Structure formats: C-alpha cells, structure tokens
A and B are shown apart, each in its own frame.
Chain A
Amino acid sequence: MKAVFDKNANSLTVSVEGSIDTVTAPELDSQLQANWEGITELIMDLAAVDYISSAGLRVILMANQQMEDCDGSMTVRNVNDDIKEIFEMTGFDSLLNLE
C-alpha cells in the first residue's frame, strides 16, 4: 500500500494505491493522523486501490467520523467496481460521500 498526501490550505487529498488490509490499514491510519492538523476537507482517492478488507473500511469510517466531529467534510473519489461492491455489501455506500 502506498499513500500520497497532497495538502492545500485546509484541504487534504490522499491518493491510495494497492491493498488496504489488516497489515496496511494501521499504516494508512497513522499516516492520515500525521497529516490531520488544520484539515476541514478530506478527499480520499481510491482509484488505484485493488483490495480492501474490513480493516481498511474501519480506517475510512474513522476518518469520516473525525471529519464530521470537526465540522469538516470527507469525499471518497474514484471508487472502482471491486471496491464499490464491498462498499455496497457493507452499507458504506450510504454512509460515505462518494464521488
């Protein structure tokens, strides 16, 4: 898993690549936390994510919650069919702002 962070004023775009699984999800979480300060808009670009398990879903859910807690917004972008299927299966498609 690789995550590229692009911070622009209060907006943070995270482009994730590879698998977000039990092993890599904590890594993504800690990288997110390290870039969190001052953010009111979070964009997660999942175009290059080919696999996600519940560990990855939890990181996304927590990030979404964290943004809501600070009156910010989170958008999940470029969700491919495989990942969309998991989002629909778990109800994440209705919890998240998908674009």
Chain B
Amino acid sequence: MIEVKNLKKIYNGNAVLKDVNAVIRKGEVISIIGPSGTGKSTFLRCLNLLEQPDGGEIWIDGKNILDGKTDIAAIRRKMGMVFQSFNLFGHLTVLENITLAPVSLLNKSREEAEAEAMKLLKLVGLANKAHALPGELSGGQQQRIAIARALAMEPEIILFDEPTSALDPTMVNEVLSVMRSLAKTGITMLIVTHEMRFARDVSSRIFYMDEGIVYEEGPAKELFENPSKTKTRAFLRRIGMFNSTLNKADFDLYHFMGLFTEFAEKQMLDAKQIKTLHLVLEELLVNIIFPEIELAELEIGISEETKQSELRITWHGSAGNPLESASEAGELARMIVKKRTSSSEYSVLENGVNQLFIKF
C-alpha cells in the first residue's frame, strides 16, 4: 500500500529524517515509538505531504507521490489524520465539523453526510453530542470527534500523531479505547504514540525510530520482549521509570495516582498489578512517609521483562527506617506494605541522604 524509500527531511541544516525506509501493508496497524525529536511526527507529516520531504520516494498504490505530478488533494483524501491538538473548528457544531469535508470534498448530500456522521458518532460513543460545540466537550471527547471526522472522509489509512499527548491523564483511556475498536475493523493505522501498552496490544508491527531512521522494526510482541538492537533495548528500559517529588504540603493523592496509572499502563502492567501498586503507594506515602517526612523524591522502575517493580524513596533529614517505626497509627499500613512487597532495605547514603529501597 505504502512504500517509503530513502526519505529525507532537513530542518535548518539538521537532518531530522536521514534515510527512512518502510513498507506499510493494507490492514496493518503500526505504532511508531522512539525518543522525542527522532522524526516520528515528521515522518507521518511527510506521508501526507503536510511536510515536503527533501529527498527519497513515497510510493502509494504504485505512484511515487514525490514525482511532482501527483494530485496532492487526492492523496490526502486517502489519508485521514488525527492530530495531538484535535484541530476542530470551534465555531461549528460537532455534526458540522464532521460533515464539512464530506459535503465539500466528496460531494455528498448534507442528508447523506449527516446520516454517516451520526453512525460515526455512535462508533465513538458521542451520538448525544452531535449539536454541541467543541468548546463544550472535554479534551478526550474532542479527540474522539476528531477521529470521527477523519473517518467521515472514508480514508484508506489513518495517521495518528500522538493523539493522547495533549490530554489530561484521566481522558487518555477513552481515546485509546476508541482506537482499539477501530484497529479491529481492518482499517490501516499508523500511530505515533508514547502509550507502550496500547502499542503492544493493538499493533501488528512496531517501528522504533531513532537517529533519523526506522532503527528497528518487527512484530509488537517480538520488539517489546526481545529487541535486537542496543538502542531499542535502552529506550524500552528507560521509559520504565517514574519519578515524582513528594511534597506533603501539596500532595494530591488522586492526581498522583492518575499520573502513576498512566505510567503503569504504558509499562503494560495489568489492572490487578496496578491496583496492588496503588494500595502500596497509598499506604506508604500517606501513612508511613508523610507522617515523618515533609519532602522526598520517589523513583519507581518497572522491569520490561519480569514486570517486577522497584521503588526508591530518598529524603534529607530525619533518619530511620519508616517501615520499622513504632507509631501505632501506621501499623496497619506497615502490615499491608510488608505483605505486598518482597524485600525492603533502608540505608543512609554517603551524602547523608536517607534511602528506602523496596522491591515488589
């Protein structure tokens, strides 16, 4: 369906895409992962010529769209795009946003376009919002509308450019859930994402981009479980780290758990594992750490291979292992933490910083 050969894109003398080669077959769901600034979004934008490449070839259905003779509008009609920032028209209703392009570009009658739009709104679970303005909807709802709008053009492929990156963590799942359903319909999808669990679950293949090329590619399971190249392994290991500064004075448990859940889902932990970690973190932070410590640094690492977690809390000041405290108030919490963890170790580092290290 799409074949990319030696694609190049240079910004201000900096080659963002150096030599991208890829084949995307009909019906594939491909997630593009990799560190920031490695050209993932640029690659996507080059495919539908939102960015003009500086070299190479993009073959779509047997035509090189960079040969200067291609009807760009026709190419774009084949490719829907969902952006990070929704890009809905704020002065138009949801229904008008979805029907605008089918009426003006596909010459559909308004009635036909509206009937189709209502079907798509049902698909994304927002049929009751047809007459709302985008500003009246949450970020997650707006992104679901943007997906419906892309589908209304009956594209052969949909490009998703970090569709959940601009969303509040609580709204990410509703968008991913719509995308999961879409992936099952057989439509070709190319998704730039940082949602690793999602990428692994829905993708037929993964492109890992680094150094301006598709550095490693392969079936999702294989690439996540057994990446063959060092940089891919390092990336997958690095993303398995959650850091947070814990300040007792302004600690918001639900906000913290929202951020942690987002991280844990990216690490592909299942619901039960996440619930267990929630419990340990709530007990540890609220009932064991904060009664004794005002400010601490938290680091949680999750092994890509075993899914085991390691937690490290460091703090200045009051020495002593909080898990061995004699306070009666924290007794129940300490019991829960100890029963839920495999080992713990308290130490004072050379610089006088206290460290509590816990393995789950």
Residues of A within 8 A of B (CB): 21-23, 50-51, 53-55, 57-58, 82, 86, 89-90
Bound together, the chains give a CA A33 to CA B283 distance in angstroms of: 25
Q: How far is the CB of A1 from chain B (nearest CB, A)?
A: 12
What B residues does A57 contact at CB under 8 A?
Answer: 332
What A residues does B279 contact at CB under 8 A?
Answer: 51, 53, 86
Q: Which residue of A lies closest to B334 (CB)?
A: A54
Would you list which residues of chain B between 327 and 347 have a CB under 8 Å from chain A?
332-333, 335-336, 339-340
In the complex, which of the residues B282, B332, B336, B339 contacts A21, with contact meaning CB atoms closer than 8 Å? B282
Q: Which residue of B lies closest to A88 (CB)?
A: B339
Instruction: Establish whether residues B332 and A23, one from each chain, have CB atoms under 8 Å apart when the complex forms.
Output: no
Bound together, the chains give a CA A50 to CA B275 distance in angstroms of: 9
User: A23-B253, A86-B336 in contact; A51/B286 too (CB < 8 A)?
Assistant: no
Bound together, the chains give a CA A44 to CA B221 distance in angstroms of: 45
Could you pull out 15 A-B pairs where Cβ atoms are within 8 angstroms? A22-B282, A22-B286, A23-B253, A23-B254, A50-B275, A51-B278, A51-B279, A53-B283, A53-B336, A54-B332, A55-B286, A58-B332, A86-B279, A86-B336, A90-B332
Would you list which residues of chain B between 267 and 284 have a CB under 8 Å from chain A?
275, 278-279, 282-283
Q: Is B93 an interface residue (CB 8 A)?
A: no
Please report the number of residue pairs spanning A and B whose Cβ atoms sit closer than 8 angstroms. 35
What B residues does A50 contact at CB under 8 A?
Answer: 275
What A residues does B309 contact at CB under 8 A?
Answer: none
What B residues does A58 contact at CB under 8 A?
Answer: 332
Instruction: Establish whether residues A21 and B253, one from each chain, have CB atoms under 8 Å apart when the complex forms.
Output: yes
Q: Is B321 an interface residue (CB 8 A)?
A: no
Instruction: Establish whether residues A53 and B282, one from each chain, have CB atoms under 8 Å apart when the complex forms.
Output: yes
Q: How far is the CB of B197 from chain A (nearest CB, A)?
A: 20
Instruction: Establish whether residues B287 and A54, one from each chain, have CB atoms under 8 Å apart when the complex forms.
Output: yes
In the complex, which of the residues A21, A23, A90 contacts B335, with contact meaning CB atoms closer than 8 Å? A90
Bound together, the chains give a CA A98 to CA B339 distance in angstroms of: 22
Instruction: Establish whether residues A54 and B283, one from each chain, have CB atoms under 8 Å apart when the complex forms.
Output: yes
Q: Which residue of B lies closest to A50 (CB)?
A: B275
Q: How far is the CB of A89 from chain B (nearest CB, A)?
A: 5
Q: How far is the CB of A27 from chain B (nearest CB, A)?
A: 14
Bound together, the chains give a CA A89 to CA B334 distance in angstroms of: 12
Bound together, the chains give a CA A23 to CA B336 distance in angstroms of: 18
What A residues does B286 contact at CB under 8 A?
Answer: 22, 55
Bound together, the chains give a CA A90 to CA B278 distance in angstroms of: 17
Q: How far is the CB of A53 from chain B (nearest CB, A)?
A: 5
What B residues does A22 contact at CB under 8 A?
Answer: 253, 282, 286-287
What B residues does A55 contact at CB under 8 A?
Answer: 286-287
What B residues does A51 contact at CB under 8 A?
Answer: 275, 278-279
Bound together, the chains give a CA A54 to CA B291 distance in angstroms of: 15
Bound together, the chains give a CA A89 to CA B336 distance in angstroms of: 7
Bound together, the chains give a CA A21 to CA B287 distance in angstroms of: 12
What A residues does B339 contact at CB under 8 A?
Answer: 89
Bound together, the chains give a CA A57 to CA B336 distance in angstroms of: 11
Q: Which residue of A lies closest to B285 (CB)?
A: A22
Q: How far is the CB of B293 from chain A (nearest CB, A)?
A: 17
Q: Which residue of A lies closest to B339 (CB)?
A: A89
Contact with A along B276-308 (1 / 0, CB 8 A): 001100110011000000000000000000000
Q: How far is the CB of A46 from chain B (nearest CB, A)?
A: 15
What A residues does B287 contact at CB under 8 A?
Answer: 22, 54-55
What A residues does B278 contact at CB under 8 A?
Answer: 51
Q: How far is the CB of B331 from chain A (nearest CB, A)?
A: 9
Bound together, the chains give a CA A21 to CA B340 distance in angstroms of: 17
What A residues does B275 contact at CB under 8 A?
Answer: 50-51, 82
Query: Which 7 A/B pairs are nearest by Cβ-Cβ distance?
Result: A54-B332, A54-B333, A89-B339, A53-B282, A22-B286, A22-B253, A23-B253
Bound together, the chains give a CA A41 to CA B282 distance in angstroms of: 32
What A residues does B340 contact at CB under 8 A?
Answer: 89
Most chain A CB neighbours (cut-off 10 Å) among B278, B282, B339, B340: B282
